[in-house]
Structure 1
Amino acid sequence: MKINIPVKKYLPYYRRINFLLLALFIFNAAYATSKAPFPKKTKRILFLGNSITYAGKYITDIEAYFITHYQKQQFEFINLGLPSETVSGLSELNHADGKFPRPDLHERLARILAQVKPDVVFACYGMNDGIYLPFDAKRFQAFRNGIKWLHSELEKSNAKKIIYLTPPVHDDKELGTKGYNLVLDKYSEWLLSQKDSLQWEVADVHTATTQYLERARLTQTDFKLANDGVHPDDLGHWLIARAVLEYLGENVNAVPDVQAALQVHPQGKEIYNLVSQRQAIMKDAWLKATGFKRPGMAPGLPLTEAQQKYAQIEKQIRAILKR
C-alpha cells in the first residue's frame, strides 16, 4: 500500500526540527569545549614559582589527575620553579646567611619562554615577595610591578592561557595565620581583584589553604600544613592542586587527597609514582637547560637525555592506561 505524505504541508516542521537539532549540536559542542581543561592544541603547560613550586608535588598531583581523567589527551607539565625566587626583585640583606640574594624571575624568564614555548602558564608568587616582614607599601608595589611585568611578557609569548595562583597560607610559629599571612592576604586580594579589573585568571590557593588550616585548628590546635610554616606537606600540596583543579572546572571539592582523586583508575597509584619519578628528572633538567644563578641546586641531566627518559616513562604510563 502506498502512503502519500504531504511533504509541503510538513516542510516547515521539518525545518524547525532540523534547526533545533543543529542548535542542540552547537550547544553541546560549545559545552564540551567549555569543559575541556585547557585550550585546543595545548601541549606544554609551564609552572613558574618559588620553592613550593620547585618541590612540585602539587604539579605531580595535577598531572596524575589529568592523565587518569583525560586519558586520550596528552600534556607536558613543565616545572620551572626556583627556590627562594621572587617576581618583585627584592631580597633580604642577609638572605641565606649572606651566601646569595634571592633569585629574581626577571633574570631568567626570557630564556624560559624562548625554550619552553608554553601554551599554558601557571605562576605562583608572593610568599617570598613580602620578605617575611610586616606589610610595606613599597614592597607591595614591587610585587605588583613584577606581576604586571610578568603578565606583559607572557602575553608577548603568545601563551593561550595565563593563570595566577595566590600564595599558599603562611603559618607563623607564634601568630598562626595572623602573622605574615596577613601580608599574603593583601597580596592575594590584589591578585584576585585583577579578575574583575583586567579579566586575569586567578585560582585562589590562599583562601583555600588558610581556611582549611583555620578549620582544622578548631579541633586540633597543633595541626599543621607546613612544619616550617612555609613549605606545605603532602596534604598542603593537594590543597593547592585541588584549588587549581576546581578553578579549571573539575569536581574535586570533596576529594580528601590525591589518592582518592586517582581511584578512577585501578592503577592510579602506580601512575602517580611514575609521574612523580618523571617530574623529579625533568624539573632539574629544565632548570639546567634554561639557566639560573641560584647556588646549591641539583645539577640536572642534559635536556636531551632527560627527554629520552621522559619518553620511556610515558610509554610505561600509556601501557598501564590500556590495561
Structure 2
Amino acid sequence: MKKKGLFIFLFTVLSTLSIGYGQSSVDGVVKTTWKGFDRIDFKFEGKEARLIRPEKPIPGNPWLWRARFPDYHAEIDSVLLTKGFHIAYINTNKQFGSPKAVKVWNGFYEYLTTTFGLQGKVALNGHSRGGLFIYNWAKQNAEKVACIYGDAVVCDFKSWPGGGGASKGSKKDWEVLKTEYGFDSDAEAKAYKNNPIDNLNQLANAGVPILHTVSLKDGVVPPDENSLLLVQNYIHVGGTATVSPCSSGIQKSNGHHYDIDNPEMVVDFIMRHSTENSLLDASKYHRMGSGLQNSRIQFERNKKGRVAFLGGSITHNGGWRDSIYAYLKNKFPKTEFEFIAAGIPSMGTTPAAFRLERDVLSKGRIDLLFEEAAVNDTSNKRTATEQIRGMEGIVRHLRKSNPTMDIVMMHFVDPDKMKSYRAGKVPEVIKNHNRVAEHYDIPTINLAQEVTERIDHGEFTWEDDFENLHPSPFGQGVYARSMLQFLDKALTGYIDNDDKIKAHALPNPLDAFAYGNGVLMDVSEIKLRKGWKIDPDWNPNDGKRVRPNYVNVPMLISETPGSLLQPTFEGNAVGIAVAAGQDAGIIAYRIDGGEWQKLNLFTPWSMSYHLPWYYTLASGLVGKKHRLELKIDNGKDVQSNGHACRIRYVYVNKP
C-alpha cells in the first residue's frame, strides 16, 4: 500500500483576501475561534469552507474532513483538535455527493494538502447524507484515505432520499438529487450502480478501514439498507469494517439522531489509522545556522518586509514559493510585505552572482532571501571552483548590501543527487554550497536528501507523485512542507525587548576570487567594430522558444567570421551572457594579449531554444584593467546552421 503524502509539516494559513492556487480561487478569509481553537472561514471556488487548527499539530498534520452537518457530534472534533488534528469542511450540501461535488472535493483536497500542508491521507467523517460525499470521493481517491467514519450515513440514495425501502425518504431532496446527477427519471436514478454500497474494491485493495455507528431504530436512514449492507459488501471484497450500534443515550428524529455510546472508540479509530505510519522528520534535513532572528524582529517590530527568491526554474515556477508568501502573511498579519521573484530558468550561481544587482538589489533593501542553485550548477556543468565562487559571491554581495540580511540556502533534488545519496555520498555541488553556508553560518534546507529518503521510506514515489525535477503540485507540496516547518521553528520563540537587529559576521572569503562584486555591462557601453551591430529590439522570429529579457531587447550581434570586439573592463572575472540558438557559432577570445582560446556557443538545447547562457571567459585575473578580444571563428558546431554570437550582456566581477 503506497504511503503517499506522509510528511512532517507545521501549519500555515492564508491571510490575504484573494489567493489563487492552480485553477482554484480562494477569497473572503475570516479568522475566528471554534471552542477555543483557531478557525479560518473562506470561500473555495465560491463555496463556503473552513479549517480549524489545533494549538499544537501532530507531526505529519493529520486531519479529519467533515461532510455535511459539520457541527453535529462535535465532541469528536474537539477531542481530535486537542490531540493535534486539523478539521476541514466545505459546503457542497445540495449536491448529494454527485460527480460535480466530487470534482470540488478533488480541488479542495489538493488545495489543503499543497497550500496548507495537511497530511496526504485524510480521515473522512460523514453524517447522514454526508455518506454520499465521503464514499463517492473515497472510491475515486482510495490512496488518499486514511480511514472512514460514518455516523448514521446514507449509503444508497434509493433508500434515502429515494424512499425505495423502509425509509419514507424525502420527495423534495429526491428531486434535487436527480437534477444534480442529471437523471431524467426515477427509473434512471434507481438503476444507478455507483452508490456507496457499490464498487468497493478500490477501497478494500487500498486497505482503508471503516467504522460506522448506527441506531438500530433509525427509521430515516435504516441500517439494513445502508450501513449494514455496505459493511457486508465491503467484507465480501476483502475490506475491514466495524459497525457499532448506539442505544444507551437519547435518540431523536425517529432514531436518526442519537448519542454515540463510545466516542473515545471513534477518536481512537481515527487517530490510530491516521498516525500509525512511521514518519520522517523534516527537521533532520535543516541546518538552522545563525537563524532568522533579524527577519523576525524586522517583520514584528517594523511592520515591513522585503523577501526575495533567487534561483532557477524551480524558483521561477512558484508553488512552494506561493506557500511561503501565504505563511509569512499569516505569521505577521500586520506587516506590509514585498516579495521579489527573481528565479530564471536554467540559471545557477554564476548567473545569479552577476545579475544580483539588476534582479534583486535594485528593488531596495532585502530583509530575507531564499537561494537555490544545486540543480542548475550541476546541469550547467559548473566546476567546483565556479560553484564556490558563484555561491560565495552571492552571499558576500548580499551581506555587503545589507549586513543584517538573513539568507536561507536550499538544495533541490534531481535523479543524479538521489543516486549519490543512495551510494552513501554527498553530491559534490551540495558539498560545495554547504562549505559556503557553513563558512557564513547560513541556514540550509536539504530537500535533495529529504526527498530521496522519503521515497526510500515508502512515503511516495518519484515517477507517480513527485514526477520530475520540476515538481508536480504534489512535489511542490513536499518542498513547501519542509520549508514551512523550518520557518515555523526559525520564526518562533521569545524576543526580548533588548533584542536588536544585528549585523552578520563577514569573514575572509573562502576564495579570494569569489564573484562578490558581479555586475552586468549593458552592450551599449561597448565600442562597435566592423561586423558587429546592436539590434535594439532583437527577436529571432523563427518559431524557436525564447526567454524573458532575451527577446525584444538590445542585443550585440555578429554572424560574420573574423568580426572582432575589443572591450576593456576593470575586474578579476569577465564573461558573456548570450542567446544561444540553432545558429550559434564558435568564438575565439583572449585576455590582455594572451593565447587565443575557442568556445562553442552551441548548447544541447540550442535546436529548440535561443537559450540564455552565461559563459565565463576568464576569472582569477590579477590587476584592475584588462582587455578582452573576441572574434567569430570560421568553424561551427556540426549541428549549428550558422556562426552567430548574440550578446545580451558582458558580465564583470569588479575589483
Place the TM-score, normalised by the shorter chain, in its bin.
0.5 to 0.7
Letter in 1 for 2:409: L
CA, structure 1 residues 235+165, in 2 after alignment: closer, same or farther (shift >3 Å)?
farther
Shift of 1:145: 1.0
| 1:233 pairs with 2:472 | yes
Shift of 1:55: 0.1
Counterpart in the other structure of 1:177: 418
- Counterpart of 2:408 in 1: which secondary structure? strand
Counterpart in the other structure of 2:319: 57
| 1:297 pairs with 2:555 | no
Q: Deviations over 1:240-263 (max 9, x none)?
A: 223322222349xxxxxxxxxxxx
Counterpart in the other structure of 1:142: 386
Moved more, 188-197 or 104-113: 188-197
Would the aligned equivalents of 2:314 and 2:345 in 1 still touch at CA under 8 Å? Answer: yes
Shift of 1:65: 2.0
Letter in 2 for 1:67: K
Shift of 1:199: 1.6
| Distance in structure 1 (CA, Å) of the matches to 2:396 and 2:339 | 22
- Counterpart of 2:343 in 1: which secondary structure? coil
Shift of 1:220: 5.4
| Distance in structure 1 (CA, Å) of the matches to 2:406 and 2:292 | 16
Which is strand-richer, 1 or 2?
A: 2
| Distance in structure 1 (CA, Å) of the matches to 2:422 and 2:315 | 18
CA, structure 1 residues 34+147, in 2 after alignment: closer, same or farther (shift >3 Å)?
closer
Counterpart in the other structure of 2:396: 152
| Distance in structure 1 (CA, Å) of the matches to 2:485 and 2:440 | 21
Letter in 2 for 1:191: H
Counterpart in the other structure of 1:43: 305
Letter in 1 for 2:340: I
Letter in 2 for 1:239: V
- Counterpart of 1:155 in 2: which secondary structure? helix
1:206 counterpart (448, 451, 458): 448
| Distance in structure 2 (CA, Å) of the matches to 1:34 and 1:83 | 27
CA, structure 1 residues 157+132, in 2 after alignment: closer, same or farther (shift >3 Å)?
closer
Counterpart in the other structure of 2:433: 191
Letter in 2 for 1:215: H
| Distance in structure 1 (CA, Å) of the matches to 2:313 and 2:413 | 14
Which protein is bigger by CA-based radius of gyration? 2
Shift of 1:222: 4.3
| Distance in structure 2 (CA, Å) of the matches to 1:199 and 1:55 | 28
| 1:131 pairs with 2:379 | yes
CA, structure 1 residues 63+113, in 2 after alignment: closer, same or farther (shift >3 Å)?
closer
> How many residues are treated as equivalent by the alignment?
202
- Counterpart of 1:76 in 2: which secondary structure? strand
Would the aligned equivalents of 1:48 and 1:121 in 2 still touch at CA under 8 Å? Answer: yes
- Counterpart of 2:336 in 1: which secondary structure? coil
- Counterpart of 1:83 in 2: which secondary structure? coil
Would the aligned equivalents of 1:170 and 1:180 in 2 still touch at CA under 8 Å? Answer: no
Shift of 1:78: 1.4
Letter in 1 for 2:393: W
Q: Deviations over 1:73-108 (max 9, x none)?
A: 3322211100011213xxxxxxxxxxxxxxx22442
Q: Deviations over 1:30-84 (max 9, x none)?
A: xxx9889634135110000000000011110111122234322332221110001
| 1:109 pairs with 2:371 | no
Shift of 1:155: 0.9
Letter in 1 for 2:419: K
| 1:165 pairs with 2:375 | no
| 1:119 pairs with 2:367 | yes
CA, structure 1 residues 163+204, in 2 after alignment: closer, same or farther (shift >3 Å)?
farther
Would the aligned equivalents of 1:129 and 1:143 in 2 still touch at CA under 8 Å? Answer: yes
Would the aligned equivalents of 2:310 and 2:370 in 1 still touch at CA under 8 Å? Answer: yes
Q: Deviations over 1:158-193 (max 9, x none)?
A: 163332333211136xxx821699887332234334
| Distance in structure 1 (CA, Å) of the matches to 2:293 and 2:371 | 22
- Counterpart of 1:38 in 2: which secondary structure? helix
Cα RMSD between the aligned structures? 3.6
| Distance in structure 2 (CA, Å) of the matches to 1:224 and 1:111 | 36
1:81 counterpart (328, 332, 343): 343
Letter in 2 for 1:109: L
| Distance in structure 2 (CA, Å) of the matches to 1:131 and 1:54 | 17
CA, structure 1 residues 37+84, in 2 after alignment: closer, same or farther (shift >3 Å)?
same
Would the aligned equivalents of 1:48 and 1:123 in 2 still touch at CA under 8 Å? Answer: yes
| Distance in structure 2 (CA, Å) of the matches to 1:106 and 1:191 | 14
Moved more, 121-130 or 49-58: 121-130
| Distance in structure 2 (CA, Å) of the matches to 1:36 and 1:142 | 30
Would the aligned equivalents of 1:165 and 1:205 in 2 still touch at CA under 8 Å? Answer: no
- Counterpart of 2:448 in 1: which secondary structure? helix
| 1:248 pairs with 2:487 | yes
TM-score, normalising length: structure 1 = 0.53
Letter in 2 for 1:205: L
CA, structure 1 residues 155+37, in 2 after alignment: closer, same or farther (shift >3 Å)?
closer
Tell me which of the two structures has the higher relative contact order, counting C-alpha pairs closer than 8 angstroms and 6 or more residues apart.
1
| Distance in structure 1 (CA, Å) of the matches to 2:358 and 2:462 | 45
Letter in 2 for 1:297: R
Letter in 1 for 2:486: Y
- Counterpart of 1:108 in 2: which secondary structure? helix
| Distance in structure 2 (CA, Å) of the matches to 1:150 and 1:221 | 31
Letter in 2 for 1:108: R
- Counterpart of 1:151 in 2: which secondary structure? helix
CA, structure 1 residues 185+296, in 2 after alignment: closer, same or farther (shift >3 Å)?
same
Moved more, 190-199 or 48-57: 190-199
| Distance in structure 2 (CA, Å) of the matches to 1:242 and 1:62 | 10
Would the aligned equivalents of 1:166 and 1:204 in 2 still touch at CA under 8 Å? Answer: yes
Which is helix-richer, 1 or 2?
A: 1
- Aligned-residue identity in percent: 22
What runs of 5+ residues in structure 1 fail to find an aligned partner?
A: 1-32, 89-103, 252-292, 300-323
Would the aligned equivalents of 1:130 and 1:140 in 2 still touch at CA under 8 Å? Answer: no
Counterpart in the other structure of 1:67: 329
Letter in 2 for 1:178: K
Counterpart in the other structure of 2:535: none
| Distance in structure 2 (CA, Å) of the matches to 1:192 and 1:160 | 20
CA, structure 1 residues 127+158, in 2 after alignment: closer, same or farther (shift >3 Å)?
same
| 1:216 pairs with 2:462 | no
Shift of 1:129: 0.8
